[in-house]
Amino acid sequence: GLADKILHETNLLDVDELAHRYEHSIEVQLPFLQFLYGNKFKIVPICFRLQDYASGVEVGMALTEALAATNTVVIASSDMTHYESAKIASAKDQAALKAVIEMESKHFYEVVEAQNITACGFMPITSLITYANGVGVKEAKLLSYHNSGDITGDHTSVVGYAAVVFKK
């Protein structure tokens, strides 16, 4: 039912079970959701093909309309900069994360594009920021930022990871 409501709000989304065949973000999220909620939750996964700002905003607005009267958690999943030194990756990622914390979707998109940040899921983040603004979120807070070098010890070529929470 919730998927139908979201689909009703935008023409950009289709039901396509194959869209997730090679997309791994859900398999990364599921263990966390299962830890928090057991098996008592349902998901409506959305996979982005279009990577333009207007599409990200439209999906975020569709979520705002479809989910306004629900008790729904919206999650956007992405790693950050890929395969650059920890110093360069951190600088790029911090610039993008600053825009996320400020809940400025256009600025976030512009930073990602201008700095060639290789975040896989920057469009879902754009939609999430749009949704957060649409439902009156008051604050976004960076919970953690690390990179793969923090685990492997190799800081010459890392992937950045961040966790941000949005609160009403």
How many Cα neighbours within 13 Å face the side chain of 47?
14
Give the up-direction half-sphere exposure of residue 10: CA atoms within 13 A in the CB hemisphere.
21
Q: Calculate mean pLDDT across residues 11-17.
A: 83
86 neighbors 162 (Cβ within 8 angstroms)? no
pLDDT at 67 over 90: yes
Convert the pLDDT of each residue in 94-144 to its tens digit.
999 999 999 999 999 999 999 999 998 889 999 999 999 999 999 999 999
Number of Cβ atoms within 10 Å of the Cβ of 162: 20
Report d(CA 127, CA 47) in Å as an integer: 12
- The pTM assigned to this predicted structure is 0.92
Mean pLDDT of 82-89: 97
* Helix/strand/coil for 11: coil
Beta carbons of 84 and 157 less than 8 angstroms apart? yes
pLDDT tens column, 38-63: 999 999 988 887 789 999 999 999 99
Read off the pLDDT band of 68 (50, 70, 90): confident
Task: Specify the pairing of strand 82-84 against strand 158-167.
Answer: antiparallel
Query: What is the rounded distance in angstroms from the CA atom of residue 70 to the CA atom of residue 93?
Result: 32
Q: What is the pLDDT of residue 115?
A: 96
Identity of the amino acid at 148 = S
Alpha-carbon distances of 121 from 18, 36, 50, rounded to whole Å? 18, 23, 11
Q: What is the mean pLDDT of the chain?
A: 92
Query: Could you tell me which of 120, 119, 139 has the C-alpha nearest to residue 129?
Result: 139
pLDDT at 21 over 80: no
